[in-house]
Amino acid sequence: MQNVLNYLTEHQPRFVRELCDYVRFPSVSAQPQHKNDLAACAQWLLQHCRSLGLDARLCPTAGHPILIAKTPRPKSAKAKAGKRRQHFVVYGHYDVQPAEPFELWKSPPFEARIEGRSLFARGACDNKGQNLAHLKAVEAYLKTGTELPCDLTFVIEGEEEVGSSHLAEFLKKNRAELRCDAVVISDTGMPDINHPALTYALRGIAALEIKVHGPSRDLHSGLFGGSLDNPAMALCQLLAKLRDKNGRVAIPGFYDGVIPLSAYERKQLARLPFTESGYKKFLGVPQLFGERGFTSIEQRTSRPTVEINGLTSGYQGAGSKTIVPAWASAKLTFRLVPGQQPQRIIPLVARHLKKICPPTVRLEVTSGHGGEPYLVSPTSARAQAALRALKAAFQREPVLMREGGSIPIVTDFKKILGADTLLLGLALPDDNAHSPNEKFDLGCFEKGMRMGALLWPELAACGG
Ligand code: BES
Ligand code: MN
């Protein structure tokens, strides 16, 4: 093992350069004009994996390709003796969120910039840096001729940021090849570099777009305004009804089935490093807001929410244009917690909106992607093994936490492959995931690789 760790230390500068190459691909899955960039990024990954000695291929989908890369399967004496080698899937994604608004970036989002110990680029932490850390850990085994104690299959997809639309079907078709003892994902966060974390719960998600239609065309607001409803106003009034003053989602039935936080969990969450004033300052808000009766950490990791992600209507250009717009639209997502399913929430919300929509406008609701919430025991033998690897790599006591973000495919890993997922995130709260000036901390990159290397003997020792 020492030679594996030494290899990682010796080759850090090259690994950083390789991460720079990886983040230069503008692999924005939400934007059709980047289709070829996703293909090029997948090709780069393919060549990279092959150069490490992995058995890699790209699997086309109706969307973006999925990369599969396997460690060489040894025909060792043990394997011949009939002892089953453990198999783990390492999941990641090479697609990234849109980089807009570009003008807020200190340097172009798809040109890697290193400042101090941070590498700035869209996708640096979410998720290229994190999945590359795992690839580099495996490279260290393969290039030092150190036998891996288990078999690994990397599954790196290009549609995570748009709901992983084609991955579940791929898992079903390739169930035999992907059957595994557990899935490992580094695509979540940790409170700070001194608190490595094992995340045992994620929120789910339900996405919808709504459009309020008014007059058949934009109208002069002086000539006609006052005699018909304004779709932008009607939309705002509708949206305002979705949340009450106590920060609760005001849709009947929304909280049905929600599994409450146990007293034990609340106690654990309260131990995470946090100050209200520091958090307020970090967010840049004059005052915090959230569901009454819960702490900020509980609100953003363990309680369901409604968010408006985008709001569009009328004239957005310079100066003013006096119109009653023909339409107004909003992109909404609901974060869900254990006990809530997107298949139930999406129609529930759609029906409620139709019910409260005034007859003066026409409402169109389009259902978007969904992802189920995830909750797994943090006390399993494999979770304990992961905690040991985190501790050894970071030289700090790891924490257990829940996260508010979503990785929809995690519940499919459970349903289709029967495997639990270990979430070993390397992103820091100020890494600006999904925001301008996204970065990845090079210390997290390095420690993440060490964690990746130390993890396999720990997990393999747990047995099947
Ligand atoms: N890596 C994130 C998810 C995440 C980040 C979970 C931090 C926990 C902590 C992932 O890439 C992501 O952003 N997912 C989307 C999913 C959606 C587009 C279906 C999300 O959570 O918004
Ligand atoms: Mn993301």
Point out the ligand 1 atom lying closest to the alpha carbon of residue 369. Answer: 19
Helix ranges, 184-334 (H)? 231-240, 263-270, 276-283, 296-302
Q: What is the per-residue pLDDT across 409-431, written as a single tens digit (0 to 9) for each? A: 999 999 999 999 999 999 999 99
Closest ligand (CA of 205): 1
pLDDT value for 78: 60
Point out the ligand 1 atom lying closest to the alpha carbon of residue 163. Answer: 19
Longest alpha-carbon distance in the chain: 87
Closest ligand (CA of 92): 1
Q: What is the per-residue pLDDT across 207-257, written as a single tens digit (0 to 9) for each? A: 999 999 999 999 999 999 999 999 999 999 999 999 999 999 999 999 999
SS3 of 244-268: CCCCCECCCCCCCCCCCCCHHHHHH
Give the mean model confidence (pLDDT) for residues 194-212.
97
Nearest CA to ligand 1 atom 18: 161
Cα–Cα nearest to 165, from 345, 371, 25 = 371
Q: What is the per-residue pLDDT across 346-392, written as a single tens digit (0 to 9) for each? A: 999 999 999 999 999 999 999 999 999 999 999 999 999 999 999 99
* Mean confidence (pLDDT) of the chain: 96
Strands 66-70 and 151-157, how do they pair?
antiparallel
Q: Is the CB of 371 under 6 A from ligand 1?
A: yes
Point out the ligand 1 atom lying closest to the alpha carbon of residue 408. Answer: 19
pLDDT value for 345: 98
Q: Is the CB of 407 under 6 A from ligand 1?
A: yes
Q: Is the CB of 405 under 6 A from ligand 1?
A: yes
Q: What is the per-residue pLDDT across 39-93, written as a single tens digit (0 to 9) for each? A: 999 999 999 999 999 999 999 999 999 999 999 998 765 655 667 899 999 999 9
Give the mean model confidence (pLDDT) for residues 119-128.
98
| Distances, alpha carbon 180 to alpha carbons 67, 202, 211, 381, 456, in Å | 17, 21, 43, 16, 14
Q: Is the CB of 189 under 6 A from ligand 1?
A: yes
Query: Two tokens at 5?
Result: 């760790």
pLDDT value for 75: 79
Do 188 and 425 form a contact (C-beta atoms < 8 A)? yes
- Tell how far the Cα of 133 is from the centroid of ligand 2, in angstroms: 17
Q: Is the CB of 37 under 6 A from ligand 1?
A: no
- Tell how far the Cα of 440 is from the centroid of ligand 2, in angstroms: 13
Cis (ω within 30 of 0) for the bond into 101?
yes
pLDDT value for 410: 97
Amino acid residing at 193:
I
Give the mean model confidence (pLDDT) for residues 257-277.
93
Rg (CA), the chain: 24
Closest ligand (CA of 160): 1
pLDDT value for 47: 98
Point out the ligand 1 atom lying closest to the alpha carbon of residue 403. Answer: 8
pLDDT value for 79: 57
Confidence of residue 305 (pLDDT cuts 50, 70, 90): very high
- Tell how far the Cα of 170 is from the centroid of ligand 2, in angstroms: 21
CA dist., res. 30 & res. 39, Å (int): 14
Nearest CA to ligand 1 atom 7: 188
